[in-house]
Structure 1
């Protein structure tokens, strides 16, 4: 049902009413209007399937709304066809205007989903992917000048806005999966309101489900809302217990085995709480599956995760005594990949998820276990085939949050603020947030950009800030990369930035191989610290690619390293290198291994990460973080971790990330305190909180003044001791993290 609309603008005639040579929505033409070629027989076969999708019932209603309104919201659950059919109808709308207002783009929150949808839609439109239909995801673009429908991730469309702030290349923007509330999606929806004021011919289509739909309608005003809800025919079974997250994990695996023993037909999809639980569940099910009776048939666990290169492989066509029962294992990150498989007989939902929540006060992430939303649960129910079962590993009385929490309220938004500042320069003066960021997080982001010299005295982007916004990295890492141009260590910083941006290259060793893995990793460690170790690993990986009789995959396997992560780091490095050449920044020749180069790398690092300095206060690995005065330890996988004390612990270190939930610093390298003072004098003097560690740094700067201050403190201490009947003054104490 359409609810509200704007005054009609262009007049698109209904099918059967068109004049000769005019375009109308419909698929009864024998020639494909997008490439001028005759339709294939496969096109008509797929067209017949498409017309059975629930979304086709509202095709005419959607077309009318698209003609008459600037914004259309469609509420359609999974398997209704909204993500494949509506973008095609929008491409037809652009064609009807002869692309004078631009082509169509459809955003996704998942890279894999963007690729899969582009491949499917190209097949349905009977065109070649990369030509009339294409996709653009980070590090991979498959489009051409002929592309009329582009699937892309939401962050890629935001990157496009750096050169095309008003999205003038597009006539229709489809924002899919708006209910996921990613930071990029929220920013895009906020900016589109301002863009529509400048471009009234632009059309925006928002696809979402659940309570988010009503919130979006309030955001955009009285716009057409087309509801297309599919009923869930699965039987819902709730747990009667109230266990912990670990109980949910083992309960899910026990339920899988029970279903297999029951001999009921159907594959199983299991939604676990975190990425770490997925491989663990895979190993357990593989082990337990071999212990089951042969008469039950094979149990085949399948891991679905962000690193998955595509849908699960097809089942073997070879005749087997019994068809394997597939068990799809995924967390929130790999949830979209489940829809690449056919409908499953059973869905098991843990009902909880681990999320990273950012604390702006101490600039740290913390892993928090939270319940999923009712919206997520309803979407997962649609995965089961008619007559299937949906097992909730939580009680029916448990109240789930109605909708997904906006990531913009839980994330570090420094990069987001940098982007919005850049958009202000381009003429987009306002971002109408659906949910405004937390004021403390916003102030911390502005403060950090100011420290990094990305803002001028008026709070606008400086020249440094404009260059930083061009580099697809977090602001601190972008500043370090820019600083490396001054210190002639660009090649090394490109490698380091790529390795820090890619997933971790360290694999969790199989059971019983922990010592062997530690020994292999130790061979690649660098005495200067973890940042240098990452460069070592990358260089060794590149060298392995040159070996004629030894593959890089085999080398990674021997050293317990993730080949896909290193390959991604290679692609990121190439993209960063191209960016530096595009903005005409110098790239120095590599000289890794020399003392001068090590000093230059440390200086470049400190230029971006001077707010992340810590000092070992007792020589036992208890580090005091100078910025927020917390005590922390080094992560065990660090070269300064528990396995590598032979290297000794440096007194002063710079770290890449501090995890509040684990109370540890990740990616740590030693520095000289004098280097810190030289690279960030203003921050040291005016912003670093007082502490004993700051006094030590002050002593290095002013030894004479230090002696005078010590004498004054001794006098004050003596007077205080007398005034307290001989009680000694308490030594300085440090705030410690209270792990919730």
Structure 2
């Protein structure tokens, strides 16, 4: 307890247990029976010790000491790890311990997520592991919903929420450690944060920036930030990959056909299907629910769960029939798109079906409209789909495309969203940041030629508009 800086509540607890205040024998029993949680000053529950054993089995725990040393001596730390290794849940807790040791004099911890659902789920999971309450010591902040207080020491939020917070507090003085998760998704808010925080770190030498990303992004980030430590985390198991003999004429029907074949084979385990778009998620959900009555009851129950990356969806809850749960096997089928792997948090996933294509929106600045194109996923995305099974020693990945398709048709990485999106909102944001001297960004990937030209014109028009408004006020 002396190694960590304790909040006032914990000091009061230790004063109560001081041997000089009462009977020495009774005090010794209390200190031996109860280990106090340094974050809320209360004794740990029995569930805390159970979850701690599970946490120590995660691959990321092998680098905990290395990470804490790097965080202590470096302003920027990059953690490049496979999917489902525990980065998003464990590293923020270690950062909270770091801030606790500094008595929160530099601020608390914030961890960004690409998806709202992931931010909420992680807040609940981490609060459970830390043996604290959601909304108090751990909370989340997403668009139109906040579950945080002034006492929250670890916040999960979406990347666009933290970007908007910079509009009112450009230096983010409330935070001592900022964690950017899923940087490899390359969203526009994440790329903007990477650029702006590069400037903020110069103004705040005590601030720590932790970047969590996939392995293929580590070298690019190191070149961008300079000589910073990179910690690598690998999955425990390597899965079996099964390719088809040729290109499927209808990838959607092929994926559903394979789903029912796996179910009829009576092999245990949940299934994840990566589809091309969110419309296919809805269509697959309806088909599985319709075919449920035609399945052999002895095979168990198929429970489709749609996971929409870009919209707030309703997840149908299974019927609470306890007798049915005990007698029948229930297999979950998670339906998502190619970039929804961060939404998958079920541990019992044994099978992954990957259609290998995605429907992607690309903004055309010349016609000022989005174009929807169907294209193969990238090699890095296909590898992340494989890593979903990293915690399973007997998992199988079914790729609905031949192996040569990976080398001939798939690009190593797809362009960043900042090169394919409408940047009007980004221009307005940068104009707002220019008030704080942070308007000129050194982006990790610069916008395309057409997008960059329009960005410069819009920015110049906004500057001219401000000057024009000043003259107008003088005239009137």
Please give the TM-score of this superposition, normalised by the length of structure 1.
Answer: 0.56
Mark the CA change 1:462 to 1:289 in structure 2 (over 3 Å): closer, same or farther.
farther
- How many residues are treated as equivalent by the alignment? 436
Deviation (angstroms), 1:106: 0.5
Deviations 1:360-390 (A, max 9, x none): 0110101111222222222222323321210
Bigger radius of gyration among the two = 1
Counting only pairs closer than 5 Å after superposition, residues 285-324 of structure 1 correspond to structure 2 as 285-305=288-308, 306-309=311-314, 316-319=321-324, 322-324=328-330
Asked if the contact 2:305/2:316 (under 8 Å) is kept, the reply is no
Q: In the aligned structure 1, how far is the partner of 2:5 from the partner of 2:103?
A: 12
Aligned partners of 2:80 and 2:232 also within 8 Å: yes
Structure 2 Cα separation of the partners of residues 364 and 390 of structure 1:
36
Q: What pairs up with 1:200-279 in 2 under 5 angstroms? A: 200-244=205-249, 247-279=250-282
Gap change, CA 1:314 and 1:409, over 3 Å in 2: farther
1:324 deviates by 3.1
CA RMSD after TM alignment: 2.4
Task: Give the secondary structure class of the aligned counterpart of 1:74.
Answer: strand
Q: 2:10 maps to which residue?
A: none
Task: Choose which of 429, 437, 440 in structure 2 pairs with 1:419.
Answer: 429
| C-alpha distance in structure 2 between counterparts of 1:191 and 1:371, whole Å | 32
Matched, 1:438 2:448: yes
Alpha carbons 2:59, 2:236 under 8 Å: kept:
no
SS at structure 1 position matched to 2:253: helix
Q: What is the SS of the residue equivalent to 2:90?
A: helix
Instruction: Tell me the distance in 2 between the aligned counterparts of 1:60 and 1:311.
Output: 41
Could you tell me which runs of 5 or more consecutive residues in structure 2 were left unpaired when the two chains were aligned.
Answer: 7-31, 471-476
Correspondence 1:94 to 2:94: no
| 1:394 equivalent in structure 2 | 401
Q: Within 5 Å, which residues of 2 pair with 1:110-149?
A: 110-149=115-154
Please list the CA deviations of residues 338-367 of structure 1 after superposition, one character each: whole Å capped at 9, or x if unmatched.
22x232221100111111100001101011
1:403 to 403, 408, 413: 413
2:344 equivalent in structure 1: 338
C-alpha separation between the residues in 2 aligned to 1:36 and 1:248? 55
Provide the rounded CA distance (Å) in 2 between the counterparts of 1:454 and 1:78: 42
CA 1:359/1:46 → structure 2, altered by over 3 Å: closer, same or farther?
Answer: same
Give the TM-score taking structure 2 as reference length: 0.86
Higher relative contact order (CA closer than 8 Å, sequence separation 6+):
2
Task: Say if 2:159 and 2:189, in contact at 8 Å, map to a contact too.
Answer: yes
Structure 2 residue 463 is matched with structure 1 residue 455? yes
Q: 1:114 to 1:346 in 2, by over 3 A?
A: same
Structure 1 match to 2:27: none
CA contact (8 A) 1:455 1:462 kept: no
Q: Cα 1:146–1:233, aligned 2, differ >3 Å: closer, same or farther?
A: same
Q: Against the structure 1 CA distance between its residues 21 and 373, is the aligned structure 2 distance closer, same or farther, given a 3 Å change threshold?
A: same
Q: Give 1:492's aligned residue.
A: none
- Report if the CA contact (8 A) 2:431-2:459 is conserved: no
CA distance in 2, matches of 1:94, 1:348: 41
* Off by >6 Å, runs of 4+ in structure 1: 459-463
- The answer (yes or no) to whether the contact 1:361–1:444 under 8 Å persists in 2 is no
Deviation at 1:63, TM superposition (A): 0.6
Give the deviation of 1:321 after TM superposition. 5.0
* Structural mapping, 1:46-57, within 5 Å: 46-57=51-62
Task: Render the CA deviation track for 1:384-410: whole Å, top value 9, x for unaligned.
Answer: 332121001111112222234310000
The Cα of 1:231 is off from its aligned counterpart by 4.5
Aligned residue runs from structure 1 range 432-581, under 5 A: 432-448=442-458, 454-456=462-464
Give yes or no for contact 2:431–2:462 (8 Å, CA) kept in 1.
no
Question: Residue deviations 1:210-244, cap 9 Å, x none?
Answer: 31111111111110100111144321001111235
Question: Are the structure 2 counterparts of residues 315 and 432 from structure 1 closer, same or farther at C-alpha, using a change threshold of 3 Å?
Answer: farther
Cα 1:185/1:85, change in 2 over 3 Å: same
Residue matched to 2:47: 42
Q: 1:313 to 1:49 in 2, by over 3 A?
A: farther
Distance 2:68 2:50 in 1: 23
Deviation readout 1:179-212 (Å, 9 max, x if unpaired): 1111111110111111111111111000001311
**1:154 and 2:154 are equivalent in the alignment:** no
* Range that drifts further, 418-427 or 259-268: 259-268
Deviations along 1:122-157, one digit per CA (max 9) or x if unpaired, are 111111111111111000111111011111101000
Alignment check: 8 A CA contact 1:210 1:403 kept: no
Structure 1 residue aligned with 2:332: 326
Cα distance per residue 1:536-590 (max 9 Å; x no partner)? xxxxxxxxxxxxxxxxxxxxxxxxxxxxxxxxxxxxxxxxxxxxxxxxxxxxxxx
